[in-house]
Each structure stands twice: as C-alpha cells, then as structure tokens.
C-alpha cells in the first residue's frame, strides 16, 4: 500500500463517528489574525511548537519557509480577503536548504530529467540571515497591510525544540 492509500485508510477510520469529535472551525478567518510562514520540514510540528488550536492561524509552508512570490501571493490573500494583520516567519536549524548550492541541484535535476529549472531554490549559508532576508522582503512589500513590526522572524531549533527571535 502506498502512502496516499494509508492516509485514506486513516481518514476513513478516524471519521467513522459523529462530527462532534473534531474541532469545528466555522470560518476561514483565523482567530488570531496571524499568518505563519514556515518550512515544509516534517519535524516542525507547528501546532505543538506554538500551542495552536485549529482555526487560530493561517499556515503557509514551503521549502525553507522563504518569502517567495507564491508565499507573497498567499499572504496577500490572507490579509486582504481573510483579515490577518500579523506575519510570523519561522525557519529552522538543520534545514535542507542550508548550504545548498542552487546551481548544483539545478544541474542534477537537468541531468536526470533533461529539463532546466526556471527558478531558484533559495539555498543559504546562515539561517538567521535567511530569516532576516524573508522578513525584510515582507516588510518592504507594498501590498501587505499593518505595521511593519508586526512581521517578525524566528528560528526553530529542531534538536532542542526551542524558538528564538531573529532581530
């Protein structure tokens, strides 16, 4: 059985009961008016790290937790259509993008598939600098609303389970 089939079996088993077993969220507008941009890394259990409940925040995940064009698109929708006013960027230690050389990966992909990659992956050498870069890009984005200091950046240490703010 593949992973998708396993998850579908879990879904069927978990939903075999009254809907009251699940937290009802009656609106797509997050209670805390917060959007969190973080990495797709499976070790980041964001609900545990931040003590979240369903419906508290919008969660955006991509490789590295970077402020990419697509992340910007989602944040603009989150703010202008669904009322968020704060943004939290969370990157982490031991990230797959740490020390990644974009050209090396693009070359491997082209050698394997015969197709050139038309974008950058966002490899970085220092996670704090990467957070600063993403926060800076968001703070300078003309379409985002709210005070610029309501856009804040953090690094999650996957070994220690701690979160520190990047100034």
d(CA 9, CA 100): 36
What CATH code is carried by the domain that includes residue 34? 3.40.1050.10
**Distant-in-sequence, close-in-space partners of 140: CB < 8 Å, separation ≥ 6:** none
Tokens of 9: 């079996």
Q: 8 lies in a domain?
A: no
Counted domains in the chain: 1
Q: Which of helix, strand or coil describes residue 111?
A: helix
80 vs 19, residue with greater confidence: 80
Q: 41 lies in a domain?
A: yes
Task: Please say whether the beta carbons of 52 and 18 come within 8 A.
Answer: no
For residue 26, pLDDT beyond 90: no
For residue 13, pLDDT beyond 80: yes
pLDDT of residue 146: 83
pLDDT of residue 22: 56
Residues 27-84 have pLDDT tens digits of 999 999 999 999 999 999 999 999 999 999 999 999 999 999 999 999 999 999 999 9
pLDDT of residue 15: 60
| pLDDT average, residue stretch 10-37 | 77
Tokens of 158: 């996957």
Q: 20 lies in a domain?
A: no
Under DSSP, the state recorded for 92 is E
Q: Which of helix, strand or coil describes residue 134?
A: helix
Residues 113-152 have pLDDT tens digits of 999 999 999 999 999 999 999 999 999 999 999 888 999 9
Q: 9 lies in a domain?
A: no
Domain that holds residue 48: 30-166
Cβ-based neighbour number of residue 38 at 10 Å: 22
Q: 158 lies in a domain?
A: yes
Q: 1 lies in a domain?
A: no
d(CA 145, CA 73): 13
Q: 120 lies in a domain?
A: yes
Q: 77 lies in a domain?
A: yes
């Amino acid at each position: 059985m593949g992973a998708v089939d396993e998850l579908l079996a879990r879904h069927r088993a978990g939903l075999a009961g009254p809907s009251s077993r699940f937290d009802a969220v009656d609106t797509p507008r997050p209670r805390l008016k917060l959007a969190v941009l973080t990495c797709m890394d499976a070790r980041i259990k964001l609900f545990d790290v931040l003590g979240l409940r369903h419906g508290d925040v919008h969660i955006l995940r991509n490789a590295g937790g970077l402020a990419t064009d697509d992340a910007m698109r989602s944040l603009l929708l989150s703010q202008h259509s669904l009322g968020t006013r704060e943004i939290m960027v969370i990157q982490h230690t031991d990230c797959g993008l740490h020390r990644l050389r974009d050209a090396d990966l693009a070359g491997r992909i082209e050698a394997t598939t015969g197709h050139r990659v038309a974008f950058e992956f966002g490899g970085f050498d220092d996670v704090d600098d990467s957070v600063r870069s993403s926060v800076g890009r968001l703070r300078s984005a003309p379409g985002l609303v709210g005070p610029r200091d309501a856009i804040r950046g953090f690094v999650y240490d996957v070994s220690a389970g701690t979160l520190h703010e990047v100034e």
